[in-house]
Amino acid sequence: MRVMGVDPGLTRCGVGVVEGAPGKPLRLVRVDVVRTSPDDDIALRLLGIETGIAALLDELRPDAVAVERVFSQHNVRTVMGTAQAAGVAMLLAARRGLPVAMHTPSEAKAAVTGNGRADKAQVTMMVTRLLRLDAAPRPADAADALALAICHVWRGGARTRLDQARLAARAGRGKGGVGQ
């Protein structure tokens, strides 16, 4: 199972692609950050995020996309942009028929370190170890996206299968489609 994890943001949107299955070794496929300039209009920035993630999806063809769940605890403007970047990632996945899952930052941290409140250094160390890399993945701030992808490989597969069963059941009841 190949999973793309997306740590959404307008200025820096982390993307980590990992291959694996529960109980089997993990493999790093790609780690990258899509950047847009704070000087640009929000619309142009969302277009930049779309272009960057679309290119990675088309090249790397993951089986599923895991997006970090956005909370509104911080600065409102930042949260809106983050939510919109997350929306673009979900939209791109849906357009390709890929299942989308959301995991919280705590779920991702707990998956790779056993502690939902682990700090960045600890997450990076465990991601490096779990992917059997010689050095911490670069860019450094994409470690969260990799943790998210690993989290999904380990616990999201089941959820994805459940979602698919639910979608199939719903389609069977004539309730499928985008419902416009």
Phi, psi of 129, rounded to the nearest 5 degrees: -70, -45
Q: Which of 12, 17, 8 is nearest to 127 (CA)?
A: 17
- The verdict on 91 binding a copy of itself (CB under 8 A) reads yes
Please identify which residue in 24, 27, 95, 132 interacts with a copy of itself, judged by CB under 8 A. Answer: 95
- The verdict on 136 binding a copy of itself (CB under 8 A) reads no
Q: Which of 19, 68, 107, 144 is catalytic?
A: 68
Q: Which of 131, 71, 68, 72 is nearest to 100 (CA)?
A: 68
Task: Respond yes or no: is residue 141 known to be catalytic.
Answer: yes
63 is in an annotated binding site: no
Q: 56 vs 29, 59, 80, 135, CA distance in Å?
A: 11, 5, 24, 23
Q: Footprint of a copy of itself on residues 158-177 (CB under 8 A)?
A: 163, 167, 170, 175
Please give the residue ranges that form the binding site for a copy of itself (CB under 8 A). Answer: 34-37, 39-48, 50-52, 70-72, 76, 79-80, 83-88, 90-91, 93-95, 100, 163, 167, 170, 175, 178-180
